[in-house]
């Protein structure tokens, strides 16, 4: 059994990041937002003026990824979202990012959020949460995030892009978005961030204790 790995998966803007960060801080574990890896690969492809859906280019950029790519300030927003979704469907990209994610948790565990943490990266994780919310609730949260950053994108566009990316994430052959069989579902449609955190922390403590 891999010690103290908390896998948090789910569709876009379900509240995974906020939840994962708080769980990590409370439990004293490092946190990895794995979406950043795919976002950074997508950006590297765009920098070269190439197509993020091209498997050869996307894998090449995934293998060339550097730590500084993950702290770029242009990894969010509609263009970065779309490029991340495209490179994430390339099996060679996923293979290139696998070891980094596994190594991240190798020193005493970690909290990781993404799409395939509980199904592919850490199928043995003692704690697996699948965090969801209705499309409208998620689109509204993302729209607010964009507003707060000064990006005035119409809510309808956010909803449409999010529905497309979720459908693409769920339909792809390589590590599709789906709950692991032993994941606990957490629907945050009617929960604020505090309620989601309290529920998730209780589940995580329970599962970690059971895995000891």
Q: How far is the CB of 175 from ligand CDP (least distance, A)?
A: 7
* Among the listed residues 19, 24, 34, 137, the single contact to ligand CDP using CB under 6 A: 34
Beta strand spans in the chain (E): 5-9, 31-33, 110-114, 127-132, 184-187
* Among the listed residues 19, 23, 62, 88, the single contact to ligand CDP using CB under 6 A: 88
* Among the listed residues 15, 85, 109, 118, the single contact to ligand CDP using CB under 6 A: 85
On whether the CB atoms of residues 117 and 7 are closer than 8 A, the answer is yes
What is the rounded CA–CA span in Å between residue 91 and residue 137? 31
On whether the CB atoms of residues 134 and 189 are closer than 8 A, the answer is yes
Site string for ligand CDP, 123-162 (x = CB under 6 A): ----------------------------------------
What is the rounded CA–CA span in Å between residue 200 and residue 8? 10
**Ordered alpha helix ranges (H), 89-132:** 91-104
Contacts (CB under 6 A) with ligand CDP, residues 162-191: 165, 169
Site string for ligand CDP, 8-27 (x = CB under 6 A): ----xx--------------
Residue whose token pair is 């909290």: 111
Q: What residues make contact with ligand CDP under the rule CB under 6 A?
A: 12-13, 34-35, 38-39, 81, 84-85, 88, 114-116, 165, 169
């Amino acid at each position: 059994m891999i010690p103290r790995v908390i896998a948090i998966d789910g569709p876009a803007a379900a509240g995974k990041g906020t939840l994962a960060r708080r769980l990590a801080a409370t439990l004293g574990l490092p946190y990895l937002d794995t979406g950043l890896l795919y976002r950074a690969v997508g950006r590297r492809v765009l920098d070269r003026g190439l197509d993020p859906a091209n498997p050869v280019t996307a894998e090449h950029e995934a293998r060339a990824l550097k730590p500084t790519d993950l702290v770029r300030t242009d990894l969010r927003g509609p263009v970065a979202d779309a490029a991340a979704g495209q490179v994430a469907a390339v099996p060679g990209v996923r293979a290139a990012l696998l070891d980094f994610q596994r190594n991240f948790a190798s020193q005493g565990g970690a909290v990781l959020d993404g799409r395939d943490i509980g199904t592919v990266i850490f199928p043995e994780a003692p704690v697996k949460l699948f965090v969801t919310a209705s499309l409208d609730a998620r689109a509204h949260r993302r729209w607010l995030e964009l507003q707060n950053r000064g990006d005035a994108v119409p809510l309808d566009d956010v909803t449409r892009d999010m529905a497309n990316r979720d459908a693409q994430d769920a339909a792809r052959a390589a590590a599709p978005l789906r709950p692991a069989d032993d994941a606990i579902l957490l629907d945050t449609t009617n929960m604020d961030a505090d309620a989601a955190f309290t529920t998730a922390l209780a589940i995580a403590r329970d599962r970690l204790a059971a895995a000891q």
